[in-house]
A = this chain, B = another copy of it.
C-alpha cells in the first residue's frame, strides 16, 4: 500500500507538468460543452511531404504489409503483429517473432498510427515510414536483412512494376527506404472514424447518454490533458512510472526522459488490449484506474471508471472488414524461406 501511495505522489509531478501546458478543463455537460477545443475528428488523410502518396504506392504498401516474405522465415508479415482484423494489434502482452522469440514491449496499433507524434513506445522513429524499416530487420521480429527483403521483392515482376509506378522518375525505385515508404503510405490510409467523430461533427445522438456522461468525466478529471486531438492521444511523451522500462531514456540517454513514453492513442482502445508498454493489464477499467492513480493522482470511483470506459467504447472504428489483395507468387529467383 505504501508503495502505491508513493507512486501516486510521483504521478503528480507528471500531472502538474501536463496541466501547465494544457487548458485546465472546466466541467460542463456534454450537451453544453464545446469539445472542439480538446478533440478533432479523424482527418480524411495524413500526408507526409517526404512521401507523397499515389495509388500505386498505397497498393504496393498494402501488398508488402501482408507479405510474409519480408521475413526471413516467410511466415511473419507486418500484419502478424499488427493484425488489421484485431484492432491493428496481436492482442498479446508482447509479440512473437522469428523462431518464437518473445519481444520486449507490447505492439502498438497500426490504425491511426500516422497521427502519432512519433512511432514506437519510445518514439525512436519519427514517422510510420521510418518505423516500417525496423521490424523487418530486427533479429527478434522478422529477422530479415535489407538485402534479403529487397532481393525477394525484386524477384517478382508484379512488385517491380508497382515499385516503378509508385516511385516514378526515381533512378532506383526499389530501395529499402522506398519499401518502407510504400508501407508507410498504406498505413497513412488506416484511419478509423468512429461514432465519436459523428458526435464532434454535431450529431449529438451519436453517443449514448452513458457515453456522454463518460466523456464529461474524461474531460472533467483531466484525462483530456494528454488524450486529446484527432488521435485522442499519441501527440506527446509523458512520464509513466510503471514497471522498470526506462522508455524514451533508452533513445535519448537524457535523464529527464527516464520512464517517459509516447502517450497512447485511445482510438480503438477497446480492441487494443492488453494495455501499457508491457501489455500486462488486460482489463480496460483497470487500465483507466491505473491511469487515474499514476498520471493524475486521482482515485477514480468505480462509477467514474465505468463511465470513462463506456465513453472509450465510442472510439471504436466503424469499419467492418478489410480487403486484402492476393500476392504475386515467388519465382525461381526468390530466395527460399529460412525458418531457422
Contacts and interface: CB of A to CB of B under 8 A. Distances in A.
Interface of A: 66, 68-69, 73-75, 80, 83-87, 90-92, 96, 99-100, 102, 270-271, 273, 282-283, 317, 319-327, 329-330, 332, 336-337, 339
Contact of A321 (B273, B319, B323): B323
B75 A96 contact: yes
Contacts of A83: 68
B321 A91 contact: no
Contact of A85 (B282, B321, B327): B327
A51 B329 CA distance: 34
Given A91-B74, A337-B92, A324 B327 contact: no
B74 A337 contact: no
27 contacts: A68-B83, A68-B90, A73-B92, A74-B90, A74-B92, A75-B92, A75-B96, A84-B324, A85-B326, A86-B326, A86-B327, A87-B329, A91-B337, A92-B337, A96-B339, A100-B100, A271-B329, A273-B329, A282-B336, A317-B326, A319-B326, A320-B325, A320-B326, A321-B323, A322-B324, A322-B326, A323-B323
A339 B75 contact: no
Nearest to A81: B75
Nearest to A320: B326
Contact of A273 (B84, B91, B330): B330
A107 to B, nearest CB: 11
A241 to B, nearest CB: 25
A54 to B, nearest CB: 20
A219 B75 CA distance: 36
A325 B326 CA distance: 16
The 6 closest A-B pairs by CB, nearest first: A100-B100, A321-B325, A75-B96, A323-B323, A99-B100, A85-B327
Question: From DSSP, what is the main secondary structure of chain A's interface residues?
Answer: loop
A90 B75 CA distance: 7
Given A85-B325, A85-B326, 15 more contacts: A68-B86, A74-B90, A75-B90, A75-B96, A86-B329, A87-B329, A91-B330, A96-B339, A100-B100, A100-B339, A271-B329, A273-B329, A282-B336, A283-B332, A317-B326
A36 to B, nearest CB: 29
Task: Determine which residue in A321, A324, A325, A326 has the highest number of CB atoms from chain B within 10 A of its CB, and name it.
Answer: A326
A102 B339 CA distance: 9
Nearest to A337: B92
Contacts of A102: 339
Contacts of A339: 92, 96, 100, 102
Contacts of A75: 80, 90, 92, 96
A87 to B, nearest CB: 7
Contacts of A324: 84-85, 321-324
Contacts of A327: 85-86
